[in-house]
Amino acid sequence: MKKTALVLLALLALGCNRDGAVTLNGRVEAYLSDLGPRVPGTIVSIDVKEGQRVKAGELLVRLSAAEMGSAVDRDAAGLASAEARNRLYRAGNRPEDIAQLRVRAQNGELVPLSSLVTSKEESALQAITRRDRERAITIFANPAPGKSQEEALKVVEELGKQMPEGYKVVLAGTSQVFRDSISGLFFAMALGLFAGWNEPKGFSFLERTILGAMKAPKGDFRDWAAIDEWTTSVAPRL
C-alpha cells in the first residue's frame, strides 16, 4: 500500500514544475468552417488571405454592386406589383364587392346595388374587332374534301340568309377575290360579245377583251385603259 502511494507521488512530482503548472502532451485540431454569402453575386475582391484569423462580422469578400442593384430593383418591382394587387383588392373589383356598392334609390336613400339589379356571369370576347365601323367576327374555313370553292360559297350564302335581323355575312380573303374575279370575267366576256362586230381588222373586240383581261393589273378586268394599251402593243407582234 505504501509502495503504491509512493509511485503516485513520484508521478505527480514529475508532471509538475516549480510553478505548480501541469504539462501534458497532445494535439489540438483546428476547427474549419465553410463560409458562403447569403445572396448570390459576382466576387469583386477578397479582403482576407488563406489561414488568416478573422472575427465575427468582419468583411471577407466584396460582391458586384451592379448585380446587387439589379436584385434590389427586381425585388422592388415585385413589391410594387403586390401593392397594386392589394389596392385593387381593397378598391373592390370582385363581383361581390361591386354588388355592395351604394347607389341612391328613387326615395333618396343609399341602398346596395344588389337590391336593384341582378348580375350573372357569361362568356365574352376578350377583344372586339370591327370592320367598316361595325362589330365583326372572322371565321376561317376550307372547302370540304371533294367540294369546290364555288359550292362552299353557295353554302355560306345560304347560311347568311338564315342570320337574324341585323346580322350579315361578308366574304373576305381568297373567297372574295375568287368571287370578284369570276364576276369581272363574265362582265368582260359579255361586253366583248356585244361589241365584237365593231372591230373588223386585227384583233376583234372579244379577243382584245379576253387577252386584256388576262393581263389586267391586280385582276381588275374593267381597267379598259390597261387592256387597250396592252392588246394594241401586242397586235403588231402577232
Tens-place pLDDT, residues 134-153: 888 888 888 888 888 778 88
Give the pLDDT band of residue 234 (cuts 50, 70, 90): very low
Closest CA to 152 of 169, 165, 129: 169
Whether residue 116 is predicted with pLDDT greater than 80 in this model: the reply is: yes
Give the pLDDT band of residue 218 (cuts 50, 70, 90): very low
Amino acid identity, position 69:
G
Mean pLDDT value of segment 115-128: 80
Distances, alpha carbon 34 to alpha carbons 37, 62, 63, 98, in Å: 10, 17, 18, 57
Distances, alpha carbon 209 to alpha carbons 87, 232, 234, 238, in Å: 71, 11, 13, 16
Tens-place pLDDT, residues 73-92: 888 888 888 888 777 777 66
What pLDDT shows up at residue 176? Answer: 64
Question: Alpha-carbon distance 58 to 41, whole Å?
Answer: 19
Question: Alpha-carbon distance 204 to 235, whole Å?
Answer: 11
Find which of 6-15, 114-123, 177-186 is predicted with most confidence, using mean pLDDT: 114-123
What pLDDT shows up at residue 202? Answer: 46
Give the pLDDT band of residue 228 (cuts 50, 70, 90): low
Of the two residues 147 and 57, the one the predictor is more confident about is 147
Place of cell 514529475: 14
Mean pLDDT value of segment 183-191: 66
Mean pLDDT value of segment 115-133: 80
Mean pLDDT value of segment 25-49: 72
- pLDDT averaged over every residue in the chain: 70
- Residue 35 CB-half CA count within 13 A: 13
Whether residue 112 is predicted with pLDDT greater than 80 in this model: the reply is: yes
